């Protein structure tokens, strides 16, 4: 089997749901949130913003985001983030301009805590919740594996996200070798096989299982999919 075979992603997705009970919070948010409102207007309905922050709080009880401050910041960055409403991890071109935009978006959201704590991990969760086909979440262990201890917007946009696209492409390539098709069709089929979980989220789950929970690649590959 090829290194970075797409079935490893599906197995990690299954293992993630076995060992991390908080996956239900994510699925519940994705089920009931109206994500389209985030790209319609800079003024977000309060109940949708509260739902988003509730999801973040359910995953991270130490989350210190200031919702009022966040809504003001979102109005400011809306013209930038709206440019990427139709992009995915596969389609986006990480040009110099795109990296700069993502860095601005990331750092702007990071600077909305109640106290002085910077929400580097939770910022990635917020971005993913808004554009789940594009942004990949990270945490300390995942950052340390891919980029070291840096965790600002520049690091996220210039190093981490391009690496996540490269990783996604290698998995899709393995699918195309086995089944043919296009990147878009492979993306859709893998998403369908993972209960409609986006590729960006499945990659996060692989990273979480592998680096946060420290499961070996062999442990992931030993998971049986059809059981």
Domain chopping of the chain, boundaries: 6-221
Looking at every residue in the chain, the average pLDDT score rounds to 93
Query: Tell me, what's the pLDDT at 227?
Result: 61
Rounded Cα distance, 159 and 64, in Å: 26
Write down the pTM of the prediction: 0.95
- Burial label for 64, CB within 10 Å (0-12, 13-18, 19+), is middle
Residue 192 burial (CB count, 10 A): 10
Rounded Cα distance, 187 and 189, in Å: 6
| Residue 3 pLDDT class (50, 70, 90 cuts) | low
Query: Tell me, what's the pLDDT at 111?
Result: 82
Please write the tens of the pLDDT for every residue from 75-99: 999 999 999 999 999 999 999 999 9
| Residue 30 pLDDT class (50, 70, 90 cuts) | very high
Residue 25 phi/psi, 5° resolution?
A: -65, -40
Query: Tell me, what's the pLDDT at 64?
Result: 86
For residue 132, give the nearest of 202, 211, 224 by alpha carbon.
202
For residues 164-170, average pLDDT: 96
Residue 189 vs residues 88, 90, 101, 199, 222: alpha-carbon distances, Å: 15, 14, 30, 10, 22
Torsion sign over Cα 100, 104, 107, 110:
negative
| Whether the Cβ atoms of residue 30 and residue 63 lie closer than 8 Å to each other | no
pLDDT at residue 173 tops 70: yes
């Amino acid at each position: 089997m090829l290194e970075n075979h797409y079935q490893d992603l599906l197995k990690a997705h299954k293992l993630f749901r076995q060992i991390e009970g908080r996956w239900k919070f994510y699925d519940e948010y994705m089920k009931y949130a109206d994500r389209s409102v985030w790209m319609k207007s800079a003024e977000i309905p309060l109940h949708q913003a509260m739902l988003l922050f509730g999801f973040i709080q359910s995953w991270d009880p130490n989350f210190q985001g200031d919702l009022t401050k966040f809504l003001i910041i979102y109005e400011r960055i809306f013209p930038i983030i709206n440019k990427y409403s139709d992009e995915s991890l596969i389609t986006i071109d990480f040009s110099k301009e795109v990296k700069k935009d993502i860095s601005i978006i990331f750092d702007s959201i990071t600077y909305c805590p109640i106290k002085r704590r910077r929400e580097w991990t939770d910022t990635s969760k917020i971005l993913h919740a808004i554009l789940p086909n594009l942004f990949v979440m990270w945490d300390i262990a995942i950052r340390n594996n891919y980029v070291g201890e840096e965790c600002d917007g520049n690091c996220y946009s210039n190093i981490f996200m391009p690496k996540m696209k490269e990783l996604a492409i290698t998995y899709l390539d393995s699918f195309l070798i086995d089944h043919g098709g296009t990147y878009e069709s492979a993306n859709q089929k893998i998403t369908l096989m993972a209960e409609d979980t986006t590729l960006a989220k499945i990659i996060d789950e692989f990273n979480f299982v592998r680096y946060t929970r420290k499961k070996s690649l062999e442990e992931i590959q030993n998971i049986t999919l059809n059981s």
